[in-house]
Amino acid sequence: MTGPSVDVDRYLERIGFRATPTVDLDTLEALMRAHLSTVPFENLDVFNRTGVRTDLDWSSSKVLDQGRGGWCFELNGLFGTLLQALGFNVARIGAAVLLGGPATLVDHLTLEVTLEEPYLVDVGFGDGFCRPLALNRRGPQDGGTGDFEFMPSPQGTTLTRLVDDVPAALYRFKRVSLALADFDRASHRLQTDPEEPFHTRAFATRHLDGGPDRVTLIGNQLKLQRSGEVTETDVADEDWVDTLEQWFGFRIEPAGPPDRLAKDTPLV
């Protein structure tokens, strides 16, 4: 079974999906959770200044051949192609990340998947949600890692996470279908701007067993979230690559100390 620009059988094997996929919400959620658990959100190529691309040949080689992960343009771009090859109706849409405050520049690729109603699906936002969110529904929704809510406005739809029942903005988007090449400018800007958080710390993160548990290696710290409890362990520079391989299944040396700046890096 093959699809456009992606080997579906190899892709399903890569994410450990062994059921027969059907075009329904249960399969969509299972695929999303499987992907989030096996393909890390990681910035090693950007951190090392070796460069990344948005095209499917690049992303497919990185994820399927090299056993790597990537950032939103790679992961959501490729995952959207898998879903299309399986028969899902998929649109790639651009979003402005709001974690640092108000913003209008597109710097994130996310997915709208339409079944009996449209859903937001995202496997490239780091610490996000792990089940599809119904785009046309009002009020809180269980995203598998907490409650989320969509806030409409003239500027677009804002995805929020509810923190103590207060919505915290994650990103804003307009529901306009784009091509992968439309994200080239954003990808280039994020790779070349030294102020972007992707340059400050080497990181990799993925869910454990479908979520919401998670493992994150960020800078010189390993964070394990299990059953609502978080443990943090310091990782020496000389142990960093071994720790990366232990938890994420690949080896690559960071160019320079994993912690370039002593500040928090949002996983977006």
| CATH (domain of 31) | 3.30.2140.20
What is the tally of structural domains in the chain?
1
What pLDDT band is residue 2 in, cutting at 50, 70 and 90? Answer: very low
Is 221 a domain residue?
Answer: no
What pLDDT band is residue 262 in, cutting at 50, 70 and 90? Answer: very low
User: Tens of pLDDT along 91-110?
Assistant: 999 999 999 899 999 999 99
Q: What is the pLDDT averaged over residues 123-133?
A: 96
What pLDDT band is residue 3 in, cutting at 50, 70 and 90? Answer: very low
Measured CA to CA, the distance from residue 264 to residue 242 in angstroms comes to: 23
pLDDT at 14: 98
Q: Which residue has the higher pLDDT, 197 or 36?
A: 36
Task: Report the predicted TM-score, pTM, of the whole model to 2 decimal places.
Answer: 0.94
Q: Please give the single-letter amino acid code of residue 169.
A: A
Tokens of 202: 């080497």
Position 59 pLDDT exceeds 70: yes
What pLDDT band is residue 83 in, cutting at 50, 70 and 90? Answer: very high
What pLDDT band is residue 1 in, cutting at 50, 70 and 90? Answer: very low
In the chain, at which residue ranges do the beta strands (DSSP E only) sit?
A: 41-42, 89-97, 108-114, 118-121, 133-134, 141-142, 147-153, 156-163, 166-173, 203-207, 214-218, 221-226, 229-234
- Is 173 within 8 Å of 118 (Cβ atoms)? no
User: Tens of pLDDT along 150-209?
Assistant: 999 889 999 999 999 999 999 999 999 999 999 999 999 999 988 888 999 999 999 999
Is 232 a domain residue?
Answer: no
CA distances, 28 to each of 22, 136, 207 (Å):
8, 17, 16
Strand 203-207 with 166-173, pairing = unpaired
The three-class DSSP label of residue 225 is strand
pLDDT at 263: 46
pLDDT at 267: 52
Is 212 a domain residue?
Answer: no
Measured CA to CA, the distance from residue 74 to residue 39 in angstroms comes to: 11
Domain that holds residue 88: 8-180
241: left (phi > 0), else alpha (psi -120 to 50), else beta? alpha
Is 197 a domain residue?
Answer: no
Distance from chain centroid for Cα 174? 19
Tokens of 223: 């964070």
Measured CA to CA, the distance from residue 79 to residue 39 in angstroms comes to: 10
Tell me the pLDDT of the chain averaged across its residues.
94
Measured CA to CA, the distance from residue 39 to residue 36 in angstroms comes to: 6
